Amino acid sequence: MSGEDSAGPAATPPGPSPTEPIPFLEGLRGQIEDRRADGGNLGVLFIECGLISRIDAVWGYHVGDAVAGRVTELLRSDVLRPGDLVTKMTRDGFACVLSTVEGAAVALLAAKKSLRTLNAPFWIGEDEIFANPAIGIAMYPRHGDQAEALLQRATSACAVARDLTGRIADYDEDLDHSAAAKLLYENRLRTAVSEDALELAFQPQYDLRLGQVMGAESLLRWRDPALGMIPAGDAFAAAEAADRVTELVSSILNRALRNVSEFRYSAGLDLRIAVKLPARALLNTELVDVVQRALGTWSRRPGTLILEIGETSVLRAEVPAREMLGRLRDLGVKLSIDDADMALSSLFWLATMPFQEIKLDVSAAQDLTGLPKSDRILQSIIELAHHLRLEVVAFGVADDTAAGRLKELGCDYMQADYKGPALDPEEFVKRFGFNER
């Protein structure tokens, strides 16, 4: 669009059109009845242009209104046919009805054309502004036969499209269920954290050099009465979506440090404690304060807390996450790499990060005593880690024979299911405590 297409304050909004949600839904119901009668298909597009609310904040609502009118006008003139409908549903969201289409492929073509149309620059005075649209598609009768349901499903698909490179998504029932589950997780997590209802189990870590328990990894156990056992990854995802990461991390840290303090005073176990965090938790600017407060509350030395970081690929993309690692290291906390998907090539740049430990899954080695190549691979990895000044914690160890071989190869520590399952705090003390109860 040229300067003559300015969407600035002087831009003239389009004339009367079906731009209110209720008339739009009535029009969609009518179109559905027509397709029900002739056996045809129709498509609903939900388009989030990602522009108007930002314009409101910079230039004011009157400019945002003019741009919204321009978006509606462009969709009507460049994309839609005379019998199609378009309306503004939210400040940034527009809904379109493709009144009759042969199938989903035609709706996809319309969505792609909408992207091309809205990806052209908008001019506000001398400023060139670009939208960043995302589009969701729902089809009648494939995705529903009621107006409200089709609109909701197109909106749901649009939420998925925001995270896709192509910025277009068809409605997917499984993804919709996933979104519903995520919303339930968010609300139930809020309750669980506020009521201190999260649980931890403890997997012992053995010093292979001394042959004794030297620490434990705390494993989050969120057992919801309605949803059952919820994976730790889903708990963190729900916390991030609900902006509750600080509360979740604080709850886990305080519970873990409280329990390890109880191990010391009630059972004579002076252990280090490991807590696993996804790398995205490092983007939380309050993390150092949360860790420091928890250590102070339970009178624990920073060096007895190990933060195990998963999904280390985030560190490559997020400078603030790398900076947070440095701040945690300066605090005295020990940092461990716990990422089963990490490529060995990543060690080149991870070597520049302030980690002191790496966890190594040895389950793929199977029989450590019978395969010389497995021995050589493991020995090389352990020696490489040691050259990088990283201690090695092996997990997935099959039996005492494998543990003995790992010790010979120079491995420092291990976690091993064959030694027993992760235990709740009371059972942990019963099994590993030294003091009489």
Domain ranges of the chain: 3-171, 181-432
Give the distance, in angstroms, between the CA of residue 8 and the centroid of all CA atoms in the same chain.
38
Which uninterrupted H or E stretch holds 260? helix 245-267
Over residues 321-355, the pLDDT tens digits come to 889 999 999 999 999 988 877 666 666 777 788 99
Whether 72 contacts 88, CB under 8 Å: yes
Which pair of structure tokens corresponds to residue 123?
């001019």
pLDDT value at residue 13: 38
Question: Cα(372)–Cα(380) distance, rounded to whole angstroms?
Answer: 12
The CATH code of domain 3-171 reads 3.30.70.270
Alpha helices, DSSP H, located in 119-163: 147-161
Which pair of structure tokens corresponds to residue 265?
């005073």
Residue stretches of the chain with pLDDT short of 50: 1-20, 437
Which of 188, 280, 251, 252 has the alpha carbon at shortest distance from 225? Answer: 188
Question: Cα(315)–Cα(121) distance, rounded to whole angstroms?
Answer: 33
In this structure, what DSSP letter does residue 210 have? T
Q: Which residue has the tokens 């290291």?
A: 329
pLDDT value at residue 299: 92
Q: Is there a shared CATH topology between the 3-171 domain and the 181-432 domain? A: no
The CATH code of domain 181-432 reads 3.20.20.450
Which pair of structure tokens corresponds to residue 216?
């434990």
Which of 48, 51, 106 has the alpha carbon at shortest distance from 81? Answer: 106
